[in-house]
Structure 1
Amino acid sequence: MDKISQELQLLGFNQYQAKAYVSLVHLGTSSAYQISKHSGIPRSRIYEVLEGLEKKGIVVKEDVNGAAQFSPLPVDVFLESIKKQWDVTFSSIKNELKRFEKQEIKADKRVITIKGEENILSFCRILIRRAKHRIILSIWDFMYEQLVDDLREKQQTCSLKGIVFQVENPLKDLVVHRKTDYVEQIGNKKWFIISVDGKEMIYGHPVEQNGNAFYTDDDVHVSLLENYIWHDVLVNRLVQENKENLQPWISAERENFFKMPR
């Protein structure tokens, strides 16, 4: 009962109101004393709580043989009422925020930190959905699986290009990065990049690493990282054409390039 009471509080009920309604659903028509005993609401507060619910139309009060009895609004009716209220509130908030957003003075180019798995995935999906012309990406298997449905749907109207790591049978026009010792041993450096229309992008740690991601509409960031992806795609294509000679040379050159001087 505690869990459902806590969740009802997310819909705008206070703690006692949530407990009282849940108890009434469980008990059926009851007296204030019975509701107080079942819910743990102090007897000194129970009438005040029930009166508040009665005003909301969620509890019905009846006089039965001179004694007050309380009944809950049927669950289906209650849920439908809450859903309708939520939809109206959501629509109102959405419209107002969009109106403010349009009036907002365009800020300087920026980089914003995004934290949390759900926030990062939601931001990725929003960017993918608002792409008009093209999406360029570099992404590893776990993040790819989280976003593949959104990418597949958007590919019907947008160009989708880029490179994927450790992904089998990716969407059309995505290049699978070749298997190398570096890729197999990369550990927690599985960064992702999603760039939209050459104007904005999100990049950073994949969600399974619980790190941060970053959103930017800065031209320099977008250009640099899109070109980084293109060079990765290009090298993979060159190696595919001449794998026997190029791969050992690339591995040696990379090691030498990033080696720290002693």
Structure 2
Amino acid sequence: MDEIVSLLEKLNFSKTEAAVYINLLKNSSSNGYQIAKNLNMSRSSVYSALDNLYKKGIVFSLPGNSQIYKAEDPSTLTNKMKNEFVETADLLEIKLKELKNSDSEERYLNITGYDNVISKAKELLLTAEKEVYINTDFDLQIFSREFNELKKREVRIIIFSFSKVNSENLPVEIYTHGDASCFGKQTRIMLVVDCKKTLVADKGQHREEFLGAFTDNILLASVVSEHIHNDIYLLKLRNKYEENLINDDIKLNTMLENR
């Protein structure tokens, strides 16, 4: 009996409720006085347990005599509890996902280390459905498997770089300044997936270790996307007019420009 009581307690029965239910099963039907006597419990605690069990549909009062109780059939009870658990678990899953999605734009996850940055970038690439924007001086061949997988899904991949890049046999659109002095240095990456998810990371001038951040924040995704687009616009304008259009007349003489 102790084992059954313990199992019922795991299913949100109180110890008294479990004992009362078991006693009713054994005795077919009883009133509160008889149950209290059988269990050697106070009548107040037994009646309180009966009231709770009745409200839960676990015991019933017999027609014509509200003082006599009968226990629900065990098979019916356990099936009912299983169904309620599944329904509750399914609803909980939906609500938790809604909570996660509503909070996702506020999350910023820090990433440390080159290998972790590469791993996260590959993971993000494989979530793409429409378009990917990248600004990087990384070796693009690192992502060849991911790029080819996205090609099968007809995902557009747009890449900008100041550095010379090796894009051989890669299904990507490349816009590059072709600076050979930057080739192979691998100092930074900016990645946007479907204008929703963003990864930014760099090695920095005064540290060897890569540091970065990933977020689902739509605003940051827009800012980085615009940054990459503007880099490409300026490159195309330079190529079209065969001169660098950002001269001293255009510059603002800011800390950013003079660093």
Seen in structure 2, the aligned counterparts of structure 1 residues 117 and 186 have a Cα distance that, compared at 3 Å, is closer
Tell me by how many angstroms 1:199 deviates.
0.7
Tell me by how many angstroms 1:145 deviates.
2.8
More helix by share: 1
Seen in structure 2, the aligned counterparts of structure 1 residues 251 and 198 have a Cα distance that, compared at 3 Å, is same
Higher-Rg member (1/2)? 2
Once the two structures are superposed, the pairs formed by residues 22-101 of structure 1 within 5 Å of their partners are: none
Tell me by how many angstroms 1:163 deviates.
1.0
Tell me by how many angstroms 1:116 deviates.
2.2
Runs of 4+ in 1 over 6 A off after TM superposition: 99-102, 185-189
Tell me by how many angstroms 1:260 deviates.
5.1
Corresponding position of 1:204: 201
Tell me by how many angstroms 1:153 deviates.
2.2
**Identity fraction in percent:** 15
Normalised by the size of structure 1, how large is the TM-score? 0.50
Corresponding position of 2:152: 156
**1:119 equivalent in alignment to 2:112:** no
1:172-231 residue CA offsets vs partner (Å, 9 max, x unmatched) = 452332146xx8479989321111111111111169952111101112211111000000
Separation of aligned partners in 2, 1:260 and 1:121: 31
RMSD (Å) for aligned C-alpha atoms: 3.6
Instruction: Flag structure 1 segments of 5+ consecutive residues without an equivalent.
Output: 1-98
**1:103 equivalent in alignment to 2:96:** yes
Instruction: Flag structure 2 segments of 5+ consecutive residues without an equivalent.
Output: 1-91
Seen in structure 2, the aligned counterparts of structure 1 residues 256 and 233 have a Cα distance that, compared at 3 Å, is same
Q: Which of 96, 117, 134 does residue 137 from structure 1 map onto?
A: 134
Corresponding position of 1:213: 212
Once the two structures are superposed, the pairs formed by residues 251-262 of structure 1 within 5 Å of their partners are: 252=248, 253=250, 256-257=253-254, 258=256
How many pairs align?
157
Task: Give 3-state SS (helix, strand or coil) of 1:155's partner.
Answer: helix
Task: Give 3-state SS (helix, strand or coil) of 1:146's partner.
Answer: helix
Partners of 1:192 and 1:203 within 8 A in 2: yes
1:115-168 residue CA offsets vs partner (Å, 9 max, x unmatched) = 1233222111111111111111111143x2322321232123111113133203
Corresponding position of 2:187: 190
Separation of aligned partners in 2, 1:101 and 1:128: 26
Partners of 2:165 and 2:183 within 8 A in 1: no
Normalised by the size of structure 2, how large is the TM-score? 0.51
Separation of aligned partners in 1, 2:124 and 2:234: 27
Task: Give 3-state SS (helix, strand or coil) of 2:187's partner.
Answer: coil
Letter in 1 for 2:199: I
Seen in structure 2, the aligned counterparts of structure 1 residues 169 and 145 have a Cα distance that, compared at 3 Å, is closer
